[in-house]
Structure 1
Amino acid sequence: MKHTKLALAGIAALILVSGTAFAQDTARGTNSDFVDGVVGQDVLQTADLDAAITVLQEEIRKNGNDPALLINLGQAYARTGDFARAEESFLKAHNSRNRYDILLANGDVMSTREAAKQALTWLNDLQAGTAIARN
């Protein structure tokens, strides 16, 4: 049986915008900052993205290259304008051997691989829009 981790992701037009927002402890039915190593909403909702990045990096160090953590880290990097590191994190998540399903904000269930792929598309679109805005 396929193990499914539930994590709410901020999706706009099916593209990741604010990353994995929170994890839900399905056994207790409660929201938590950490469920099965997935850092939740509080980290990415903070105005201090440098602190969020530090927390996510530490969780990745402790938990290995968990794809949900990598997607969250990529989101944090993208929000700070560090597109190169965001892309690196999304690619690591996409290429990870570890894959599981996450529950998106719109109610869809998607594999971490597909979520990372959509995050890469979003990042490319964001970078293209930023370049157009500068011209």
Structure 2
Amino acid sequence: MLMSLSAVLIVFAQPAAIAPECASESADVGYEALAQGQNERAQREIEANPDLDKNDPSRLINLGIAYARQGDEAKAREMFEAALQSSDRAWLETANGEWVDSRHLARKATRMLDRGEFSSTNVAMR
């Protein structure tokens, strides 16, 4: 299923401002907390959001990043793999305005995990 998730922003560099038309309170996928390096808070917010389907690729990828940044590589890998294998697909907007398939981002996140790139706070998402 291809779905539009305008409230999602994956940033693999510096956090970027989100255009107001892209923001949605009900689709909070932990962007603010991740952008501030508050990974545990991001994890709690994402898991507590009743508006996010458990198989939502943005939820899975963001949870994966939160887990990875907390040092839980096994859970992070599980989330990235679930996003990659999900029957749901989404086009996610990157910081530079590019729309990227969620499976591509899940593969990229897995490679970053393999290289240990989540040990710093250079990843945030919305």
Aligned partners of 1:72, 1:111: CA distance in 2, in Å?
Answer: 15
| Structure 1 position 110 matched with structure 2 position 119 | no
| Structure 1 position 123 matched with structure 2 position 74 | no
**Alignment partner, residue 24 of structure 2:** 32
Q: Which has the higher contact order (CA 8 A, sep 6+)?
A: 2
Aligned partners of 1:46, 1:114: CA distance in 2, in Å?
Answer: 25
**Alignment partner, residue 9 of structure 2:** 8
Structure 1 pair 50/112, CA: closer, same or farther in 2 (3 Å)? same
The one-letter code of the counterpart of 1:56 is I
| Structure 1 position 85 matched with structure 2 position 75 | yes
Percent of aligned positions with the same letter in both sequences? 31
| Structure 1 position 42 matched with structure 2 position 42 | no
Q: Check whether the contact 2:3–2:88 (CA below 8 A) recurs between aligned residues.
A: no
> What number of residue pairs does the alignment pair up?
116
Q: TM-score normalised to the size of structure 1?
A: 0.69
The one-letter code of the counterpart of 1:63 is D
Q: TM-score normalised to the size of structure 2?
A: 0.74
1:46-85 alignment to 2 at 5 Å?
A: 46-59=36-49, 63-85=53-75
Unaligned runs of 5+ in 2: 120-126
The offset of 1:81, in angstroms, is 1.0
The one-letter code of the counterpart of 2:11 is G
User: Which structure dedicates a bigger proportion of its chain to strand?
Assistant: 1
Structure 1 pair 108/62, CA: closer, same or farther in 2 (3 Å)? closer
